[in-house]
Chain A
Amino acid sequence: MNHEHTVAEIRDLRVRVDGRLIVDGVNLRVPPGRVTALIGASGSGKTTTGLALLGEYPAGAEVTGEVRVEGGGPVGYVPQHPAAALNPARRVSALLTDIARARVRHLPVRRRRLAARERVLEAMSEAQLPSAAELLRRYPHQLSGGQQQRVVLAQALLLGARVVVADEPTTGQDALTKSRIVEQLTAVRARGIAVVLLSHDLDVVRALADEVVVLRAGRVVESGPAQRLLLAPQHAWTRELLSVEPELPLAEAPTTEQPVLRIRALTARHRDGSRAATVVLRTPELDLFPGQSLAVVGRSGSGKTTLARCVAGLHRDHDGEVLLDGAPLPRSLRDRDRGQLAAVQYVFQDAHAAFDEHRPVVHQVARTAVRLRGTDEDTALREALTTLAGLGLPEELARRHPGRLSGGELQRAALARALLARPRVLVCDEITSGLDPVTRRGILDVLTGLVRGRDGLSLVLITHDLDTASLAHRIAVLDAGELVEQGPAPQILTTPAHPVTASLVARTRAGGTTA
């Protein structure tokens, strides 16, 4: 059994919640100094297995099996949303020193302070946090998402963890940040620490993993060395998971005369407590034609979500005009009439937060038809069920509460909710960024099908992912709030004119081919 050294091991783990098996007989061996990647679609039991290493289970879970960590030592955890793991009221220095202090107890009192400080700085440099002195004085909310993640990692290193579990570290991050995270985890591995990577981002798995374990519905379908498994998968499910994102070129862009939506001289501001307004977006001119899709790409913080929210009437603080069929749309949603509301619909990034957790999904979806098209309750319910079924959500799932659906399923429901308004413009804000490849492909298929199938439905796709953007007819690139480039998708992707676009394209290529 012990032919290879392992720092952590899971044997025949079964986790059952409310009678449903989430993890069904998983075996996992974590060797030191290697990256073990757990991949699988959402709901496959990745997180539950990863958290089992920490001794954490979902509430009310029945657990059988054995989890062993060498020396019973601490296991580090880098969560998907690092902000939630950092006390917002304390500075970084306090967050790190608290842990360091516990590790220097054996020293005489007067040397402890200095030793703790040394350990903190050491851990920060190992977690690739430069300019430590300045960062130490900041509060978690003053750090970027990537920096927060590295602070959490530094905490894990301070603890002396021999195993670090990284849960979807790259989800929702742009290409540049992703490559930094890869570097940082490589550095951790080089120290002989075992990394358990839970991810559905195959680029990162390709770049990092030494061992890959493929999970499906709580079972291990295949596992082995990354090289072998990624290049020559044995199991059909692995092949499906790994198959390259399909090229789904949309139907030829209809050449139409009148744009359905025009944006003119848009300047959007954000106001914070100090009343000082910061301009976050300048878009002199942007048109959307009927039956076309437009992808708005840019790094995080480039103002692409603000642009979408201005169009949807969710961000009031802007100058300039958003014209629907030549008529200006009121800035605020509350001033738009039924017709205008129905014409421009918006799908939110976080599907879980966008649903009322107390009501069954189908009833919430049906309300769109009732409110915006004036149908009666029964017709609306039937329409909702048909639309949901058409998007791949059977009645049994649709009648559940949002908490009992997965992210992908809820995002389909959110699309159905918007579609019941029979919109002319559908704004999708990063709706696939939190999803695994299989689910993402499913949603993108649905979207392309929509643009093809419906007369004159136009799509605005907000995304940081050029792969997703390549499905659109046109691409607009935002950087630091400025619209730097726009044009037909093939042109932007093959001959980018602006340096920002060029670097985004280059990053995506590099990410896709790293083996």
Chain B
Amino acid sequence: MSRLRTGRFALGVTVVAVPLLLALLGPVFAGGPGPRATSFTLGGGHWLGTDFVGRDVWRQVLHGGRPVVLTALAATALAYLVALPVGLVSALTRHRRLEDLLMRPLDVLLAVPSLLLILLAATVFEPDAVGLALLVALAQVPDAARLVRAAAAEAAARPAVEALRMQGETWWRIAVGYVGRSMLRTLAADAGTRLTGVLYLVATAAFLGVGVAPDAADWAVMVDRNRTGLFVQPWAVVVPAVLIVALTTGTNLLFDAALDKGGRRTGKEARP
């Protein structure tokens, strides 16, 4: 069983390492921009062909990781930074008013489609990459907070929490030490899918010209913009797409392997 777990761990690390290394170290090895060639060609000194405006795809791939990965990771982290305390407080409080005060405004936000929210804000603020990360995070908060609250409410209703209160434990120890720990698996699963969602929200925003230039070296933008030439020159779409998939799948695999302690326990096993 432990060999299986190590195997999954290694697989996760391998899968996630490729896009991460490319994103972090890519720009160092990319070199200067070469002369532009014809759009959507294969060969001709271009290892992965050329993209929709005739740039070298490999060079774009090397450059395009950092903004996507950083924006998406920052936005996801920011979203949880707000959602975790809000969700935990509203799940653990006994004052319904406080819960309403925290959750209802978020429900209103939830009713607005995230892209619309971002576009609306963009018309007022003209955000840069940091601004985009903030906006995407804002769009993710209501959803994430609801999930945290639901997962936490389940854990908070267990006798273990009452036992901790009986021991006079601090709020912090109960909320983070027990409730937080108990919902880690749910959160990890959610973080994996959320990262994917955020990646494509960033890409869509970029496609509409928010935060990122429409011809920027950015994996998500590359997928969007090079779609038109998919059947002529597939690499310009396939390579960045595969890298994004590898990033999200690898993250999920890593979380799973890290949280899986010595195999799953069934209810039957625990009983005599």
Residues of A within 8 A of B (CB): 17, 41-47, 51, 56, 58-60, 80, 84, 312, 314, 316, 332-334, 338, 341-342, 345-346, 348, 350, 352-356, 358, 367-368, 371-372, 403, 406-407, 414, 417-418, 421
Binds A, one of B159-167, B189-197, B201-209: B159-167
With A41-B272, A358-B181, A367-B169 already in contact, 18 other A-B pairs whose C-beta atoms are closer than 8 Å: A42-B272, A43-B272, A46-B272, A58-B268, A59-B263, A60-B263, A312-B166, A341-B167, A341-B168, A348-B162, A354-B159, A355-B163, A356-B164, A358-B182, A368-B168, A403-B265, A414-B163, A418-B166
For the complex, what is the distance from the CA of A334 to the CA of B160, rounded to whole Å? 15
B97 partner residues in chain A, CB cutoff 8 A: none
Q: Which of A45, A341, A353, A367 contacts B159 (CB 8 A)?
A: A353
A333 partner residues in chain B, CB cutoff 8 A: 162, 165-166
A346 partner residues in chain B, CB cutoff 8 A: 162-163, 166
Contact with A along B235-272 (1 / 0, CB 8 A): 00000000000000000000000000001111111111
Q: Which of A41, A47, A358, A368 contacts B167 (CB 8 A)?
A: A368
B271 partner residues in chain A, CB cutoff 8 A: 47, 80
Those of B36-91 within 8 Å (CB) of chain A: none
For the complex, what is the distance from the CA of A342 to the CA of B166, rounded to whole Å? 8
For the complex, what is the distance from the CA of A414 to the CA of B159, rounded to whole Å? 12
Q: What's the minimum C-beta distance from B268 to chain A, rounded to whole angstroms?
A: 6
B170 partner residues in chain A, CB cutoff 8 A: 371
Q: What's the minimum C-beta distance from A298 to chain B, rounded to whole angstroms?
A: 21
User: Would you call B178 an interface residue if the criterion is a C-beta within 8 Å of the partner chain's C-beta atoms?
Assistant: yes
By beta carbon, the residue of chain B nearest A414 is B163
User: Would you call B1 an interface residue if the criterion is a C-beta within 8 Å of the partner chain's C-beta atoms?
Assistant: yes
Q: Which of B167, B177, B267 contacts A417 (CB 8 A)?
A: B167
Q: What's the minimum C-beta distance from A459 to chain B, rounded to whole angstroms?
A: 16
Q: What's the minimum C-beta distance from A510 to chain B, rounded to whole angstroms?
A: 28
Q: Are A59's CB and B272's CB within 8 A?
A: no
Q: Are A59's CB and B264's CB within 8 A?
A: yes
Interface size class on chain B is 20 to 34
Residues of B within 8 A of A (CB): 1, 94, 158-160, 162-170, 177-178, 181-182, 263-272
Could you name 18 residue pairs across A and B whose Cβ atoms are closer than 8 Å?
A: A47-B268, A47-B271, A47-B272, A58-B268, A58-B269, A59-B264, A334-B94, A346-B162, A346-B163, A348-B159, A354-B159, A354-B160, A354-B163, A356-B160, A356-B164, A371-B169, A372-B167, A421-B167
The 4 A-B pairs at the shortest CB distance, nearest first, are namely: A42-B272, A58-B269, A371-B168, A354-B159
By beta carbon, the residue of chain B nearest A348 is B159
Q: Are A355's CB and B268's CB within 8 A?
A: no
B165 partner residues in chain A, CB cutoff 8 A: 333-334
Q: What's the minimum C-beta distance from A297 to chain B, rounded to whole angstroms?
A: 22
Q: Are A371's CB and B269's CB within 8 A?
A: no
For the complex, what is the distance from the CA of A316 to the CA of B169, rounded to whole Å? 19
Q: What's the minimum C-beta distance from A300 to chain B, rounded to whole angstroms?
A: 18
By beta carbon, the residue of chain A nearest B261 is A358
Q: What's the minimum C-beta distance from B181 to chain A, rounded to whole angstroms?
A: 5
A56 partner residues in chain B, CB cutoff 8 A: 268
Q: Are B162's CB and A406's CB within 8 A?
A: no
Q: Are A355's CB and B272's CB within 8 A?
A: no
By beta carbon, the residue of chain A nearest B168 is A371
Q: Are B265's CB and A59's CB within 8 A?
A: yes
Q: Are B94's CB and A332's CB within 8 A?
A: yes
Q: Are A316's CB and B94's CB within 8 A?
A: yes
B168 partner residues in chain A, CB cutoff 8 A: 338, 341-342, 368, 371-372
Given the interface contacts A314-B162, A316-B94, does A352 sit within 8 Å of B167 by beta carbon?
no
B158 partner residues in chain A, CB cutoff 8 A: 353
Q: What's the minimum C-beta distance from B8 to chain A, rounded to whole angstroms?
A: 16
Q: Are A341's CB and B160's CB within 8 A?
A: no
Q: Are A350's CB and B159's CB within 8 A?
A: yes
Q: What's the minimum C-beta distance from A401 to chain B, rounded to whole angstroms?
A: 10
